[in-house]
Every structure is written in structure tokens, then in C-alpha cells.
Amino acid sequence: MPPIKPRNGILNITPYKAGDAKIEGFDKVIKLASNESPMGPSPLAVKAVIKAANDGMQLYPDPSCGALRQAIGEVHDIDPEQIICSGGSEELLHLLAKGYASDGDEVIYCQYGFIAYPITIHAVGATPVMVQEDNYTASVDAVLAAVTDRTKIVNLANPNNPTGTYLVESEIKRLRDGLRDDILLVLDAAYAEYVDKQDYDAGFNLVNNGMENVIVTRTFSKIYGLAGVRVGWAYGPKSVLDILHRIRGTFNVTALAQVAATAAMRDQDHMLKAKAHNLKWVPKLSQALEELGLTVTPSQGNFILVHFPDGPEQSVAMDKFLRSKGIIVRPVGNYDLAGALRITIGTDSENEALLAAMSAFFA
């Protein structure tokens, strides 16, 4: 008997491989592979989770995430009714693909864009269309040139992972202006809080200006240090949110995740400390590695993309050497960047240990 056939596209998916967290022979490692926050979560978020765990985990969570949406709305000065919450922002990417694309449709994403994009596209039977970047940066002209009458969604990470590059607000507006009204622009702003540029906007301004075909996805996994509880959210027009609410899980954000994220959002002091730490170390680490003869792509994320002059052989050797010292970074050959490593910003001591190890490799 032949196996049951899945829907079109699913067998084209290469399963996502998360960054390693262990090295054989080491009880404790320095993990700089998954862009997690070295500052950890807000103490208020931890306290809120403990209280919620004691107060009644037998009860279903609020399906509307009302308190969390209210907190997000107040902090960002946006309408809570235009916010939807999810079990991580990746869930939203899947829901958006499911809601707006199917067999025969095309979804555009960029050359070095988040590797989950083609997974979400294949999962609904649509066709991924990858466009080339310009110096590791998304090209508005290339995206617009790739649009066909079958295009339904454009996925754009801004800032982008794993490159750390970004598009200025005027370029995002030019992109939106150049797309048909029936194409949904999904702005994945997972790293928005780290950006320190006056010409950047996560995309809220487009939504605030009444655009019915723009949605901005965000996450609590990065600067808020809540990757382990899985919370994401999006800001967009009510018409798009209506579609997402129809197809999402009823209780898609757990009670503990909701209270953790609500407390974290209201503790902006902790978030700003994490941002300050990042602003200190991204240029410091970048300069130190460039002094070793490496090339670092300028980053607006909590990580840097490091290119090795001798290509893949040297990057593989460095990765192996760092692991021998108990340090895990992220090879990015699956992004067609085999001659590079992505390195997350860690704590002061972790960053110093990384620099010492990489210097020893070249010495």
C-alpha cells in the first residue's frame, strides 16, 4: 500500500535545524549561536511566571491575550485592537502564509533572509521566489522585479538575520508603493529593538497611515530574553488580523507566556539595559575581529556575521577550534554563507573568552 500523500510542497521542506546547545565533554558551554539575550529575562517576568504557576495552571489562558496586548499598545503607542499575539513570531509567519497563499501562488523572500521563510511557503503548497541581495542587503529593485501576477506575499526581515543589515524607512515605503494592493508585505522586525538608526522604522508608520496590506511581526525571544516561553506578536490592519484570528489556535499563547511577556514589556528599563550592552559590544567585537584580518558585516542585530578570508575551510576550522574551547557559534552554510560564522553577542566574560580563543586560533 502506498504511503498517504501529503499536500503539495511539504516534501520540499528541509527541516529547520536549531543551533547546538551542547558539546560533548563540556558540562557548561558558551552558547553564542541562537541570538538569545545575554541579559536574560526581566526579573519581573520571572516573578510573574512563578506567581502564575502557583495561582492556577489548570485554567485555560486568555485567548485574546488582552493584558499583553494592552501593555504592548501602551509602550509602543499603538492600538491594542490592531495587535495579535502568538506562540513566537514564527507562528505568525506560518499563519500569514496559510491565510494568503496556496498552490500556484508565489511568495518572495530575499537571498539571505530568515531560513524559515521557504519552510512556511512550501508548507502551504506555494512557490518560494528568492531574490538576490546587494552587498548582503535586501534590494527593493530586485524584489519589485521579481513580482508576477502570481505574487501574494513579500517576506522581508528588517533588520535581517543572519546578516544584521537593514533597509531605511524610505526604502521600505518605496517597496510598499511599488507593490500591487493585493500583495501583502510582511515586515519581520524581530530585532527592531536593537536598531540605533534614526532612518529606521519597523513598519508601524505604514500601518498607522492606513495601509491595509502591511503587517509587522515582532518577538519576545530576542531582547526580552523570553525565547524559552515562545511569545510573538504582530501589528497590522484589522482586516488581516481577522483572517489570522480565524485560523490560529484558540489558546495559542500559554498563560505563563502571557504573564511573562506582559511583565517584560512593562519593564522597559531592563530592555534598555540589554540594548545598551549590545550597542557597546557590536562595534567592540566587530573592530577586534577586523583587527584579526576578518571582515564583519555591519550589524543592527544582537549578532555579527564574520567572513573568513580563506573561505569555508577556514570558517570550519575556526568553528571546530572554538568548540574545542567550549564555545558554540553558528555556521551559516545553509544560508549559502559557508565562508562565514554568525556570532551572537554574549555577556562581557563570554565575549572576552570568544576574542581570546579566536586570537589564539590565528596566533
Based on the fold, state whether residues 67 and 211 are members of the same structural domain.
Answer: yes
Based on the fold, state whether residues 155 and 293 are members of the same structural domain.
Answer: no
The CATH number that applies at residue 345 is 3.90.1150.10
For residue 252, what are the contacts with CB-CB under 8 A and spacing of at least 6? 85, 86, 87, 91
CA nearest to 85, candidates 218, 206, 192: 218
Q: Is the pLDDT of residue 1 over 70?
A: no
The owner of cell 545553509 is 334
- Average model confidence (pLDDT) across the chain: 96
Based on the fold, state whether residues 182 and 50 are members of the same structural domain.
Answer: yes
Based on the fold, state whether residues 61 and 149 are members of the same structural domain.
Answer: yes
Which residue range is the domain that position 332 belongs to? 10-31+269-362
- Within a domain: 5: no
Q: Is the pLDDT of residue 21 over 90?
A: no
CA nearest to 236, candidates 245, 226, 227: 245
Give me 8's grid cell: 503539495
CA nearest to 174, candidates 205, 212, 141: 141
C-beta of residue 23 within 8 angstroms of C-beta of residue 325: no
Question: For residue 193, which amino acid is it?
Answer: E
Based on the fold, state whether residues 218 and 241 are members of the same structural domain.
Answer: yes
pLDDT tens per residue, range 68-127: 999 999 999 999 999 999 999 999 999 999 999 999 999 999 999 999 999 999 999 999
- Within a domain: 118: yes
Where a domain ends, among 267, 286, 320? 267
Based on the fold, state whether residues 143 and 76 are members of the same structural domain.
Answer: yes
Where a domain ends, among 244, 267, 290? 267
Q: Is the pLDDT of residue 19 over 90?
A: no
Mean pLDDT of 273-293: 98
pLDDT, position 3: 82
Mean pLDDT of 28-53: 97
CA dist., res. 360 & res. 109, Å (int): 39
pLDDT, position 337: 96
Based on the fold, state whether residues 220 and 71 are members of the same structural domain.
Answer: yes
Q: Is the pLDDT of residue 231 over 70?
A: yes
Mean pLDDT of 121-141: 97
The CATH number that applies at residue 226 is 3.40.640.10
Q: Is 338 helix (H, G, I), strand (E, B) or coil?
A: strand
- Within a domain: 252: yes
- Within a domain: 2: no
Pairing mode, strands 184-188 and 214-219: parallel
The owner of cell 503587517 is 215
Supply the pTM of this predicted model: 0.95
Based on the fold, state whether residues 197 and 108 are members of the same structural domain.
Answer: yes
Give me 356's grid cell: 581570546
pLDDT, position 237: 98
pLDDT, position 7: 86
Pairing mode, strands 151-157 and 184-188: parallel
Mean pLDDT of 220-236: 98
Based on the fold, state whether residues 287 and 201 are members of the same structural domain.
Answer: no
pLDDT tens per residue, range 304-330: 999 999 999 999 999 999 999 999 999
Cα 85 to Cα 28, 177, 217, 244, 273, distances in angstroms: 34, 27, 10, 10, 25
- Within a domain: 193: yes
Cα 101 to Cα 118, 205, 239, 277, 340, distances in angstroms: 13, 25, 16, 40, 33
Based on the fold, state whether residues 176 and 59 are members of the same structural domain.
Answer: yes
CA dist., res. 121 & res. 10, Å (int): 9
Q: Is the pLDDT of residue 149 over 90?
A: yes
- Within a domain: 204: yes
- The pLDDT > 90 percentage for the chain reads 92
Based on the fold, state whether residues 110 and 202 are members of the same structural domain.
Answer: yes
Could you give the number of structural domains in the chain?
2
- Within a domain: 351: yes
Mean pLDDT of 204-226: 97
pLDDT tier for residue 13 given thresholds of 50, 70 and 90: confident
DSSP tag of 70: H
pLDDT, position 347: 98
Based on the fold, state whether residues 18 and 91 are members of the same structural domain.
Answer: no
pLDDT, position 233: 98
Where a domain ends, among 251, 267, 283? 267
- Within a domain: 203: yes
Q: Is the pLDDT of residue 2 over 80?
A: no
The per-residue b/e assignment along 114-146, b for 16 or more CB within 10 angstroms, e otherwise, is bbbbbbbbbbbbbbbbbbebeebbbbbebbbeb
